[in-house]
Chain A
């Protein structure tokens, strides 16, 4: 079946099968390998994408569900000129990245949270990122990075 959707701001069309996973479409057809597969069962969050602004697990999402929707992957976050998004910058500055395999998903879940709430409390951060597992950092620096992201975003808005 043919579907059309917007991915990272660009119109995309794809011919897929009913059991094609969104993850495979994005990685293999669109080359968006920043979308990672960690468990294939929606448990680890490495495959997180934003579907109409909300984090979802692309490894258990039929690609057909992308039809007529808007998708953001990690590749859609940084500027075309290579400049980092403030969340990405904060993740680096705070040491919230170790092996980096969970990072794209972590950053996208943080993005979804900060879009709704630029000054999240610790427990709000924890809830928002509870679907993203990280085995390297112990999470403390990730929480700090999300808080820092909020500050950077606020500065960017000139407030």
Chain B
């Protein structure tokens, strides 16, 4: 299987949606226009905690162009949303204000400007109450409850073996505390949703979003209409990285409510500021970690406590809690491990899904500590990682046995076989140098988060062209291209004959969210199945036409071809036409379900993921002593991605995720003052520019994954953790100080250099 010669799989095809993107013709949600369309703009609380006493919108209604203002009273449904029951997030606040970005009213205007002016003129009467601004404050005895059920959003444990025993067997025990801060997705397209009453007693939601089915459910519930009345069409989406989920639901409910009330299409486009303060961020984390090592470097035990700042609402916190928990051992065998992972409510912007999903935070902690152990035990960075690496036949922290596709050691060896000319600590007059390593593991599929299903449809026209759709969303990562490649491969048509459409909720099975690096893996299988069914009809028809058995026919290059005579060909258009007139189905709607996870909910012991991505990152840095400025001289990212479906797109995923990881490790920091975000813009929130890019070199190890299409595994998220953790290790080596807070900024570096100098 793995050695099979593919025509389309494994090749760097350009994106099937590239032409419209590069010409500016692709319609993003904000590019749509419908006659009579109104614009909506949210009024936000602007205080982190308080009681909403009333809302004065008289001035807003007098503003020219303002049409109406809606409030929580206008929401027909329960005015509640969230990811897991009990749902905890109101669409608009009714009484309690839980974070400064909370929506309290929604202004409708004839123009976007009128709506935003109106919103600025609405005066909510809010009585401030002292906010709880850190997990410590929220967890203090007697602390005010942010939600009825208390201030713990979600908490879980993982228990394997006996840490007491493990620590007894250890020669070196390290105890550290690490911290990370909030990170903003900063997709270049702000969240945008347009609700259109369709005139057929249904409502259509055009959305820049990540999970159309998820938002359909919330919109239907809050509009108090059956789900079947709501159609969500994903527009071209300008990046998401986990971010356009809850917020798209919120915007869809607001726009939908207004659209129904006013019987007009309603467009909502977030400003950049709203995009930062009013939609989820990556969790800030505090991680206490104690690990025991033998003098040879074997990790015997780990005791780790992860506390995530969940902000005002649960959002994806429960799943992030679990993901961090499950990944707390990193890509290593740790026989005895105890993990506690807890998300805590605070009066800050809610936190949730962001590329990596809790893994970058624990990876930073784990990789920092392993490096410290390696340094103390005088073991090489790659050596200690190889010594402990998961491999076939070993079990993960959840006791999941790795039976196949576990290339961690291979990624380490690949790094080893690409040595740097110079590495490790160096120093000259102006600069300090250091090299950092990090090992990464990321589970592919929803895993412990629940059932993992994807619907797909493959339709062949009588002309032999193919239309592919799935319930997953294209966010820039290239899923439409990957699905087109898979359909083309199965059906033996050139890629140009395949059209891969955006998702809409009318056309395929509810596919859950596009998350967890599962698109290619689980979605791809679904496309294979649907295409496979169409292929059956084509072969059946062709066998009648050729008057031979099906097994003598293959589909390739747009033809049905006899295997023993390559010149005996029938165009697939003819086969498809004949199939249609013979009543053989040439469309199929398939459904794929990943193998379920089975585990104990108290200890998280069991089989959780259908596959794992493994990786090793190496980063070499140069630091300017006078300013703390860092230049990344070299960055090598090696991942076991299973079969590579499209090398160019795969590289793009690794490069892009790595820069987000670099941002997390070095320069991105949401700054809060008294519960208000002080830098809600792209000038003071430092997203890396092209002048800050890192020279990522991407290599892959292809360990065949039997659960993925053609052996493929996901790659969207894992490099974030690898780049961030290897960066911190590199900088730590260069400066000679272990950094326990991420990001490590120029300022932090200069401070550490100064302290070191004064000590010396």
Contact A73 B652 (CB under 8 A): no
Is A92 interfacial (CB 8 A cutoff)? yes
Contact A39 B682 (CB under 8 A): yes
Most B CB contacts (10 A, CB to CB) among A84, A92, A104, A135 go to A135
Measured CA separation A35–B476 after assembly (Å): 18
Q: Given A101-B238, A136-B656, A40 and B271 touching (CB < 8 A)?
A: yes
Is A133 interfacial (CB 8 A cutoff)? yes
Closest residue to A125 on the B side, CB-wise? Answer: B690
Closest residue to A20 on the B side, CB-wise? Answer: B113
Residues on the B chain within 8 Å of A46, using CB: 188-189
Residues on the A chain within 8 Å of B634, using CB: none
Contact B694 A135 (CB under 8 A): no
Contact B18 A38 (CB under 8 A): no
Choose, from A63-71, A139-147, A150-158, the stretch at the interface. Answer: A139-147
Measured CA separation A35–B31 after assembly (Å): 9
Residues on the B chain within 8 Å of A143, using CB: 690, 693
Contact A100 B22 (CB under 8 A): yes
Is A117 interfacial (CB 8 A cutoff)? no
Q: Nearest 3 pairs between A and B by C-beta?
A: A34-B24, A99-B476, A100-B21
Contact A92 B658 (CB under 8 A): no
Contact B188 A135 (CB under 8 A): yes
What are 27 A-B contacts with C-beta separation under 8 Å?
A33-B31, A35-B24, A38-B682, A39-B272, A39-B682, A43-B681, A74-B24, A91-B22, A98-B478, A98-B656, A100-B18, A101-B476, A104-B24, A107-B22, A126-B691, A127-B691, A133-B682, A135-B656, A135-B687, A136-B652, A137-B652, A137-B655, A139-B655, A139-B693, A140-B695, A140-B696, A143-B690
Measured CA separation A73–B26 after assembly (Å): 14
Contact B187 A101 (CB under 8 A): yes
Measured CA separation A151–B94 after assembly (Å): 60
Q: Given A92-B14, A99-B239, A140-B696, A135 and B186 touching (CB < 8 A)?
A: yes
Is B201 interfacial (CB 8 A cutoff)? no
Residues on the B chain within 8 Å of A41, using CB: 272, 681-683
Is B610 interfacial (CB 8 A cutoff)? no
Closest residue to A32 on the B side, CB-wise? Answer: B24
Among B22, B27, B189, B687, point to the contact of A88 (Cβ < 8 A). Answer: B22
Contact B25 A34 (CB under 8 A): yes
Most A CB contacts (10 A, CB to CB) among B30, B187, B652 go to B652
Contact B696 A136 (CB under 8 A): no
Contact A141 B655 (CB under 8 A): yes
How many residues does chain A have at the interface if contact means C-beta atoms less than 8 Å apart? Answer: 51
Contact B239 A136 (CB under 8 A): yes
Q: Given A44-B682, A98-B656, A140-B655, A103 and B187 touching (CB < 8 A)?
A: no
Contact A95 B648 (CB under 8 A): yes
Measured CA separation A93–B269 after assembly (Å): 32
Is A134 interfacial (CB 8 A cutoff)? yes
Residues on the B chain within 8 Å of A99, using CB: 21, 187-189, 236-239, 475-476
Is A102 interfacial (CB 8 A cutoff)? yes
Fill in one digit per residue for B179-217: 1 if any A CB lies within 8 Å of its CB, else 0: 000000111111000000000000000000000000000
Q: Given A33-B27, A88-B23, A101-B28, A135 and B660 touching (CB < 8 A)?
A: yes
Contact B682 A92 (CB under 8 A): no
Measured CA separation A104–B23 after assembly (Å): 7
How many residues does chain B have at the interface if contact means C-beta atoms less than 8 Å apart? Answer: 56
Is A148 interfacial (CB 8 A cutoff)? no
Contact B187 A135 (CB under 8 A): yes
Fill in one digit per residue for B688-702: 1 if any A CB lies within 8 Å of its CB, else 0: 011101111000000
Residues on the A chain within 8 Å of B655, using CB: 137-141
Is A97 interfacial (CB 8 A cutoff)? yes
Measured CA separation A15–B649 after assembly (Å): 45
Contact A133 B687 (CB under 8 A): yes
Measured CA separation A107–B31 after assembly (Å): 19
- Listed in ascending order, the chain A residues whose CB lies under 8 Å from chain B are 27, 32-41, 43-44, 46, 73-75, 77-78, 84, 88, 91-93, 95, 97-104, 107, 125-127, 129-130, 132-143
Closest residue to B186 on the A side, CB-wise? Answer: A135
Tell me, rounded to whole Å, the shortest Cβ–Cβ distance linking B496 to chain A.
14
Contact B27 A136 (CB under 8 A): no
Closest residue to B269 on the A side, CB-wise? Answer: A37
Residues on the A chain within 8 Å of B687, using CB: 133, 135
Is B651 interfacial (CB 8 A cutoff)? yes
Measured CA separation A84–B682 after assembly (Å): 31
Residues on the B chain within 8 Å of A140, using CB: 655, 693, 695-696
Contact A84 B23 (CB under 8 A): yes
Residues on the B chain within 8 Å of A126, using CB: 690-691, 693
Residues on the A chain within 8 Å of B22, using CB: 84, 88, 91-92, 97, 100, 103, 107
Residues on the A chain within 8 Å of B649, using CB: 95
Residues on the A chain within 8 Å of B23, using CB: 34, 74-75, 77-78, 84, 88
Q: Which chain B residues numbered 683 to 730 have a C-beta less than 8 Å away from chain A?
A: 683, 687, 689-691, 693-696
Most B CB contacts (10 A, CB to CB) among A36, A44, A130 go to A44
Tell me, rounded to whole Å, the shortest Cβ–Cβ distance linking A125 to chain B.
8
Residues on the B chain within 8 Å of A139, using CB: 655, 659, 690, 693
Q: Which chain B residues numbered 457 to 490 have a C-beta less than 8 Å away from chain A?
A: 475-478
Among B19, B683, B689, point to the contact of A130 (Cβ < 8 A). Answer: B689
Tell me, rounded to whole Å, the shortest Cβ–Cβ distance linking B161 to chain A.
39
**Besides the contacts A95-B15, A103-B22, what 8 more A-B pairs have beta carbons closer than 8 Å?**
A33-B24, A38-B189, A39-B681, A46-B189, A95-B648, A101-B476, A126-B693, A136-B656
Is B58 interfacial (CB 8 A cutoff)? no
Measured CA separation A137–B659 after assembly (Å): 8
Measured CA separation A100–B21 after assembly (Å): 5
Is B241 interfacial (CB 8 A cutoff)? yes
Residues on the B chain within 8 Å of A74, using CB: 23-24
Q: Given A100-B236, A140-B655, A133 and B188 touching (CB < 8 A)?
A: yes
Residues on the A chain within 8 Å of B477, using CB: 98, 136
Contact A103 B21 (CB under 8 A): yes
Q: Given A74-B23, A75-B24, A135 and B696 touching (CB < 8 A)?
A: no
Is B12 interfacial (CB 8 A cutoff)? yes
Contact A130 B691 (CB under 8 A): yes
Measured CA separation A78–B187 after assembly (Å): 26
Q: Which chain B residues numbered 479 to 520 have a C-beta less than 8 Å away from chain A?
A: none
Residues on the A chain within 8 Å of B693, using CB: 126, 138-140, 143
Tell me, rounded to whole Å, the shortest Cβ–Cβ distance linking B41 to chain A.
13
Tell me, rounded to whole Å, the shortest Cβ–Cβ distance linking A67 to chain B.
21
Measured CA separation A15–B31 after assembly (Å): 21
Tell me, rounded to whole Å, the shortest Cβ–Cβ distance linking B12 to chain A.
7
Contact B651 A95 (CB under 8 A): yes
Fill in one digit per residue for B5-36: 1 if any A CB lies within 8 Å of its CB, else 0: 00000001011011111111111101100000
Measured CA separation A103–B15 after assembly (Å): 13
Contact A36 B15 (CB under 8 A): no
Residues on the B chain within 8 Å of A132, using CB: 690
Measured CA separation A23–B338 after assembly (Å): 55
Measured CA separation A107–B187 after assembly (Å): 18
Contact B696 A84 (CB under 8 A): no
Among A34, A43, A95, point to the contact of B14 (Cβ < 8 A). Answer: A95
Q: Given A88-B23, A95-B652, A103-B21, A135 and B185 touching (CB < 8 A)?
A: yes
